[in-house]
Amino acid sequence: MALLSGKNKVILSGMLGNGLEWYDYALYGHMSVIFSKLFFPAGDSSQNLIITLLIFAFGFLPRPLGSIFFGWLGDKFGRKSALTASMIMMAIPTGCIGLLPTYASIGIMAPVLLTFIRAVQGFSLGGAYSGSISYVVEHAPPEKRATIGSVIKLSLVIGFLLGSMVSTIIASIVGDDAFVQWGWRIPFFLGVLIGVVGFYIRNHGEESPVYEQAKQEGALSQNPLRDTFVKYPSKMLRAFMFYMFVTVPFYIIAIYTIAYSKNHLGLSQSDALLINSLSMASMFITIFPAARLADKIGRKRVLLGAIIAMLLVVYPAFNLMQSGLVTHMDIVQLEDGSSAQKIVFDHAANFMNVLIAQVIMAMILGWYLGPIPATLVEIFPTSVRYTGMSLSYNLCAIIGGFTPSIAEYLIRSTDSNTSPVWLMVGSGVLSFIFVFTYKDKWREPLPA
């Protein structure tokens, strides 16, 4: 780290620390189908998957509490302290998931412990992600805020991509059967090692100069939580709505499509993970160019263009994923003697068409992700920025956390594989309204 300049050290610290935390957080989504088999009694596979995804969503409920705690820590004592603490609180429970006994070993305590660990992870991430955005963007010169801020979104994608790639590689080495039995634990153990590296990087970073200036001028808030709600409720609402089009599409594309490809399109676990890895890589491609363009023409036009593009292609994309799919319903006998309906795949969906559809959606979402960090930072003043951003983001993220389970429920209740489209469309319309009415602040200095 000593070989890096101050600015590069900040960027690397923000990227690696944030990316490594999202690696830990993403693994649950990648293993959701496996968890639905290992941590619950044998039965309706779709119902077990919904419960598994609801446990994933439950981890989002403590995130506002985490944002309050880490927001207070970050606005009162500095961004660096809050980000370093959150890293350790993320790595430990991730390793604990890898040690969890299954339902066959301890019964109902298996999903109970899994739910508790998810809550601890959610509390930690409540202050980590938006804090990283504040930390990095506050170091950037005004003409490069979107470009430099985009590294946080790049690191988010890298974290998810790394989790997907590690899972894919291990699954291909040990085979699908062994991966389901024990191989799924390995990526979680690696998360502990990654957390130690991330802690070191963040602990050796520099404090935000914008924060230090506000501290010297006595401009810091003595009660960031109260001031955020009392003085800036409209900013909170706008930031919440801006992020709606991030959180809903992202958790469909990055998390739910793995289970979707396997359970509803008939693809193998390894193929579903491979497609997820490639789509996340394609999302990576568009983030940086979109951010650079936002530094040249403003945030608003870039964000609106991405929303319009997604609204136009999301339904054709979901239709494309159905090509080649042939199924029928069958009655199967369960271990407890009861029977249940089960989808039988006569022919899986076409691999290339599923890949193309997910890549297109991921690239469009990447275009929206690029300018978002700088845009959110520009909304709030320095005195409450950490708290305001964290609360807005994490309250919105709760919706994203429930998105995979809602998408699965929609398919189950409507018997239509394209029903998740309405979640994407609804989030897009809401975000479009608030982006369209926004007064762009891309050329203005950050408010104190």
Mean pLDDT of the chain: 85
Tally helices (H) and strands (E) across the chain.
20, 2
Q: What is the pLDDT of residue 332?
A: 62
Judged against a pLDDT cut of 60, whether residue 392 lies above it is answered with yes
Whether the per-residue pLDDT at 397 is higher than 70: the answer is yes
d(CA 411, CA 309): 24
Domain that holds residue 89: 6-436
What DSSP assignment string belongs to 349-375? PPHHHHHHHHHHHHHHHHHHHTTHHHH
Q: Would you say residue 381 lies in a domain?
A: yes
Residue 77: enclosing H or E segment and its boundaries?
helix 63-77
The per-residue pLDDT for 146 is: 92
Instruction: Tell me whether residue 280 is in a domain.
Output: yes
As for how many domains the chain has, the answer is: 1
H-helix or E-strand containing 341?
strand 339-347
Give the pLDDT confidence score for residue 3 in this predicted structure: 43
**pLDDT tier for residue 58 given thresholds of 50, 70 and 90:** confident
- 30 in Cβ contact with 258 (< 8 Å): yes
- Taking only the tens place, the pLDDT of each residue in 256-271 is 998 899 889 999 888 8
Per-residue pLDDT band for 208 (boundaries 50, 70, 90) equals low
Is 63 within a domain? yes
Contacts of 105 (CB under 8 A, 6+ apart): none
Query: Is residue 444 one of the residues assigned to a domain?
Result: no
**Count of residues making up the chain:** 448
> Is the residue at 447 inside a domain?
no
Q: Which helix (H) or strand (E) holds 389?
A: helix 385-414
Asked if 405 and 50 touch (Cβ cutoff 8 Å), the reply is yes
Q: How confident is the model at residue 340 (pLDDT cuts 50, 70, 90)?
A: low
Task: Give pLDDT, residue 406.
Answer: 93
Residue that the structure tokens 């369960």 belong to: 334
Residue 250, pLDDT score: 92
**CATH number of the domain enclosing 209:** 1.20.1250.20
In angstroms, the Cα distances linking 355 to 157, 254, 361 are 17, 13, 10
Whether residue 233 lies inside any domain: the answer is yes
At residue 59, does pLDDT exceed 90? no
Residue 1 lies in a domain: no
Nearest residue to 265 via CA among 183, 216, 321: 321
Please say if the pLDDT value at position 386 is more than 90.
no
pLDDT, one tens digit per residue, over 9-51 is 667 766 766 777 678 767 877 788 889 989 988 777 778 888 8
More confident residue, 285 or 13: 285
Q: Is residue 443 part of a domain?
A: no
